[in-house]
C-alpha cells in the first residue's frame, strides 16, 4: 500500500465523474432513444410551420406588420427603428437566414414560456418545489453550453430541431426565475383582499397575481429571447442553419465579410425583438392608465372611423337650438 503524499493529494483520490456520465448517456441512448425521438415531433411541427410562415411571407409585408406591431406596443419611433432594422437585414443579404434564425428563436421562446411560466407559478406557490428547482436552474444557467451539445446530438441527432432543444435548455432559467419573482412580489394585502371577496385560488392567480406580475414575466421573456439569439452561433456547430451558420462558416474560411454579415444580422434581429418585447412588458400604470387599444395604429383607426353611437345626428344641433 503506497503512502499518502500530502504535496500531491489528488494522485490518490480519483472521482471519474466524466466516465460515469458517459456510461449513463450511452445507456439512455441504447434504451430510450425512441422516447427522445418522439419528443422531437411537436417541436418539429411548430418549427416547420413557423419557418414556412416567415419564409413564405413577402419581406415588405413582414416589415409593415412588425412596424405596426412595434407602434402598437411601443411608439412611432420604435416602429421606424424596427422598419429600418429589418430593411437593413434585407439590404445586407441575410433575409432568408434571418427568417430561419427568427423561427428557431420564436419556437424556442414559445416552448420556454409553455414550460417556464407554469414552473415559475408553481415555485412561487410551493416552497418545497422552489427549493428543488433552484439548484437545477443554477446548473442549467451556469454549465457551459458546449457541454450538453454532445448528449443532445446523441439523443436527438443534428439539425434545427436539436438546435431548438439546446436553446430551450439554455434559455429556460430566466423565464422561470422572473415569473417566480414577479408573483412573489405581488403585495400580500392585494391577495388577501381578493381572498376576502371570495375569489378562489385560481381566480386570484389569474385576475390579481399574473396581471400584476406581467412586467416581471415579460422581462423574463425578453431575457429568454436574448439568450436564444446568443445561442444561435453555438447551435450552428450541430448543423443548425440560419445566421449562426453564416458566422461559423465565416470563421472556418476566415471570411470576415460572411462572418460580419451574419453577426450584424443577429444584432439587428436581437434589437428588433428586444424593442417589441420591452413594449409588451410596459404596464398600464406606465401608460398613464391609457387603454391599450386607444394608442398606436388601432387607436388612430378608431379615431378616424368613429363608432356608430358617436356619430353626430346632422339635425341634432338645429333641434337643440329650436328648443
The pLDDT of residue 323 is: 46
83: pLDDT strictly greater than 90? yes
> Percentage of residues in the chain with pLDDT exceeding 90?
33
For 155, residues 6+ apart whose C-beta sits below 8 A from its C-beta are 25, 28, 29, 33, 36
User: Which string of b and e fits 257-280 if b means at least 16 CB within 10 Å?
Assistant: ebbebbbbbbebbbebbebbbbbe
Show the cell assigned to 153: 446530438
CB distance 50 to 109 below 8 Å = no
214: pLDDT strictly greater than 80? yes
Show the cell assigned to 291: 387603454
Per-residue model confidence as pLDDT tens digits over 16-55? 888 888 888 888 888 888 888 888 899 999 999 999 999 8
Per-residue model confidence as pLDDT tens digits over 231-271? 888 888 888 888 988 998 998 888 899 999 999 999 999 89
Amino acid at each position: 500500500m503506497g503512502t499518502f503524499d500530502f504535496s500531491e493529494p489528488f494522485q490518490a483520490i480519483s472521482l471519474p465523474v466524466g466516465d460515469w456520465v458517459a456510461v449513463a448517456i450511452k445507456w439512455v441512448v441504447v434504451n430510450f432513444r425512441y422516447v427522445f425521438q418522439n419528443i422531437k415531433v411537436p417541436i418539429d411541427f411548430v418549427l416547420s410551420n413557423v419557418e414556412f410562415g416567415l419564409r413564405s411571407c413577402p419581406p415588405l409585408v413582414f416589415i409593415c406588420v412588425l412596424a405596426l406591431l412595434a407602434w402598437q406596443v411601443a411608439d412611432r419611433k420604435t416602429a421606424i427603428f424596427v422598419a429600418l432594422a429589418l430593411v437593413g437585414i434585407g439590404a445586407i443579404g441575410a433575409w432568408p437566414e434571418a427568417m430561419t434564425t427568427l423561427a428557431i428563436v420564436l419556437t424556442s421562446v414559445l416552448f420556454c414560456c409553455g414550460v417556464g411560466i407554469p414552473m415559475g407559478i408553481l415555485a412561487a406557490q410551493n416552497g418545497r418545489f422552489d427549493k428543488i428547482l433552484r439548484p437545477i436552474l443554477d446548473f442549467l444557467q451556469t454549465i457551459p453550453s458546449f457541454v450538453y451539445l454532445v448528449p443532445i446530438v446523441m439523443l436527438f441527432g443534428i439539425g434545427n430541431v436539436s438546435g431548438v432543444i439546446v436553446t430551450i435548455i439554455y434559455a429556460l432559467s430566466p423565464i422561470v426565475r422572473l415569473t417566480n419573482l414577479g408573483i412573489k412580489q405581488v403585495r400580500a394585502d392585494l391577495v388577501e383582499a381578493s381572498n376576502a371577496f371570495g375569489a378562489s385560488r385560481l381566480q386570484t392567480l389569474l385576475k390579481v397575481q399574473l396581471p400584476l406580475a406581467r412586467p416581471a414575466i415579460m422581462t423574463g421573456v425578453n431575457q429568454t429571447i436574448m439568450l436564444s439569439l446568443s445561442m444561435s452561433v453555438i447551435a450552428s456547430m450541430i448543423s443548425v442553419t440560419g445566421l449562426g451558420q453564416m458566422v461559423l462558416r465565416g470563421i472556418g474560411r476566415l471570411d470576415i465579410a460572411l462572418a460580419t454579415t451574419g453577426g450584424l444580422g443577429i444584432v439587428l434581429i436581437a434589437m428588433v425583438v428586444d424593442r417589441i418585447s420591452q413594449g409588451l412588458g410596459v404596464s398600464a400604470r406606465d401608460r398613464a392608465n391609457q387603454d391599450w387599444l386607444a394608442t398606436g395604429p388601432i387607436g388612430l383607426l378608431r379615431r378616424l372611423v368613429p363608432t356608430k353611437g358617436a356619430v353626430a345626428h346632422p339635425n341634432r344641433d338645429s333641434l337643440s337650438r329650436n328648443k
